[in-house]
Amino acid sequence: MAPCHAADRGAVPGGRGATGRHPQRGLARPADPGMGGREIPLLRQRDFRALFTGQLISILGERFTYLALVGLLAEHTSHFRDPRSSLLLTLLANVMLAPVLLFAPFTGPWLDRTNLKRVMVASDALRSVIVVLIPILYLGTGNTAPVFALVFALFTCNVLFLPAKSALTPEIVPPAQLLMANGLLSIAGVVATAAGALSGGWLIDHWGWRTALYLNGATYGVSVIALLLISYRPHHALAPPPGISWRRYFTEVAEGWEVVRRNRAVGIALLSLGAVWVGGGFLHVAGNQHIQRSASAPGMERLGLLMCALGVGSLIGTWWINHRGKNAPRAVLLGGGLVLAGLGIVVFAVSARFAVFAAAAFVIGLAAAPAFMLSETLLQEGTEPRQRGRVFSARDFLMRLVFFLGVTTAGWASRSLGLRATLLICAGIVTAAGALALWWGRRGAEPRVA
């Protein structure tokens, strides 16, 4: 796969979308004159401010949920001393992934025909109820089966919410501010991750994982209120889509995959993003156990501190790309970042000292930032509004698929080869993906972030 040249960056060959009816939107954003030729700062725009605020608060709560679920399993397995620990962690990750793998390939055409704001509001309202039910059912049964069922329902809501958010963003911000908007949303995510991990670990160790889940239910409620403040008119309100049949529906599913397959500009970004998700799968299984077994006093506070260090590194990386790295070649940002992340995982694997863990987490977060920020912008700019739901659903499916493969492989390797060997395998995969991205970047002219 060769990197695209400046003339065709982000465009499907031939300059048209998969349907052949609409011109493909290129990656170079047109200038937005704003009011009187001046751009209004994004956080002064009501719609974006509402989206930003809602995401900041709800992602903060989501970090509580992840730590709380790990804390629940830690309590259930005597701080992962039970031989079933790896199996339960693997099962948790697979239950999180299953809804995406089952439903995401087919939800895109529906999202492209639906009011995205309503989808997001309904999803967050349901998630608020689900997370509150988790401690209630676990305490009532003492069994993890109801927990896994509710986690499945929780992540089924995510199947709709996440691509809807990605598709909505370019419809509520000016094209010339899209990269900045994604940067701010990334910053909201990493700030919430850092704050949620730092406070969530302490909260769970001192007040219990149940309290964390109740708080997350409240944060989803705040997100619902913020989303309701967004003024949004669906693109299909101006030009309604053609009638639908089962045959037409699956044709539209295929069209979304065709856009992803033929858009060479985003190939390198999807490779990089996939490597990060694979690494996340390995760290979920082997990394959690490595941290707990290296601790003198097992608990969630240490994990929270490490997630905070990861978030701080990602925050700095996102800020640098948005302000200093706009003109850097994408292959260097993405491939070089993965190589650096692989080295960070090696350091994490061979050490048992918490200070080294924290430094490695910071470096990994810093290095992984380009994969998240650049891929989001590339996909938004390279697809039409009528296709974004399909494209982002396809992205979510692919990323969770590679995460599933990472989790499954890590679960087997942890039991068969040991934690250190498993983490070194993870480092090798991430580094190899970075080297491949750099090699692709050397094959031709490399487009730059506009």
CA 297/CA 96 separation, integer angstroms: 28
Which has the closest alpha carbon to 193: 66, 302, 53? 66
- Residue 25, domain member (yes or no): no
Taking the complete model, does pTM exceed 0.75, yes or no? Answer: no
Structural domain including 126 reads 6-12+44-233+253-441
Is residue 30 a contact partner of residue 389, using CB atoms and an 8 Å limit? no
* CATH code, domain with 325: 1.20.1250.20
CA 107/CA 157 separation, integer angstroms: 12
Whether residue 334 is predicted with pLDDT greater than 90 in this model: the reply is: no
CA 287/CA 294 separation, integer angstroms: 11
Residues of the chain with pLDDT > 70: what percent?
Answer: 78
- Residue 31, domain member (yes or no): no
Q: How many residues does the chain have?
A: 450
CA 376/CA 178 separation, integer angstroms: 10
Greater confidence (201 vs 314) lies with 314
**Total number of domains constituting the chain:** 1
Q: 3-state DSSP call for residue 8? A: helix
Greater confidence (269 vs 204) lies with 204
pLDDT digits (tens, 9 = 90+) for 228-271: 999 877 655 455 555 565 565 556 566 666 666 666 666 777 78
7-11, 195-199, 307-311: the lowest-pLDDT one? 7-11
Looking at residue 25, its pLDDT comes to: 38
- Classify burial at 153, counting beta carbons within 10 Å of its beta carbon; exposed 0-12, middle 13-18, buried 19 or more: middle
18-32, 60-74, 178-192, 355-369: the lowest-pLDDT one? 18-32
Looking at residue 121, its pLDDT comes to: 93
Beta bridge partners of 35: 38
82-96, 129-143, 379-393: the lowest-pLDDT one? 379-393
- Residue 18, domain member (yes or no): no
- Residue 446, domain member (yes or no): no
Whether residue 383 is predicted with pLDDT greater than 90 in this model: the reply is: no
| Residue 14 banded pLDDT, cuts 50, 70, 90 | very low
Sign of CA dihedral 389, 390, 395, 398: positive
- Residue 181, domain member (yes or no): yes
| Residue 426 banded pLDDT, cuts 50, 70, 90 | very high
Looking at residue 67, its pLDDT comes to: 83
| Residue 394 banded pLDDT, cuts 50, 70, 90 | confident
pLDDT digits (tens, 9 = 90+) for 315-330: 888 888 877 776 777 7
- Residue 123, domain member (yes or no): yes
Whether residue 29 is predicted with pLDDT greater than 60 in this model: the reply is: no
Whether residue 339 is predicted with pLDDT greater than 90 in this model: the reply is: yes
- Classify burial at 301, counting beta carbons within 10 Å of its beta carbon; exposed 0-12, middle 13-18, buried 19 or more: buried
What's the mean pLDDT when you consider all of the chain? 78
Greater confidence (199 vs 422) lies with 422
Whether residue 153 is predicted with pLDDT greater than 90 in this model: the reply is: yes
- Residue 37, domain member (yes or no): no
Average pLDDT on 278-295 reads: 84
Whether residue 2 is predicted with pLDDT greater than 50 in this model: the reply is: no
Looking at residue 104, its pLDDT comes to: 81
Whether residue 435 is predicted with pLDDT greater than 60 in this model: the reply is: yes
Whether residue 154 is predicted with pLDDT greater than 90 in this model: the reply is: yes
Looking at residue 443, its pLDDT comes to: 64
| Residue 142 banded pLDDT, cuts 50, 70, 90 | confident
- Residue 367, domain member (yes or no): yes
Whether residue 10 is predicted with pLDDT greater than 50 in this model: the reply is: no
Whether residue 15 is predicted with pLDDT greater than 50 in this model: the reply is: no
Whether residue 163 is predicted with pLDDT greater than 90 in this model: the reply is: no
Place of tokens 């690494």: 279
Greater confidence (80 vs 292) lies with 292
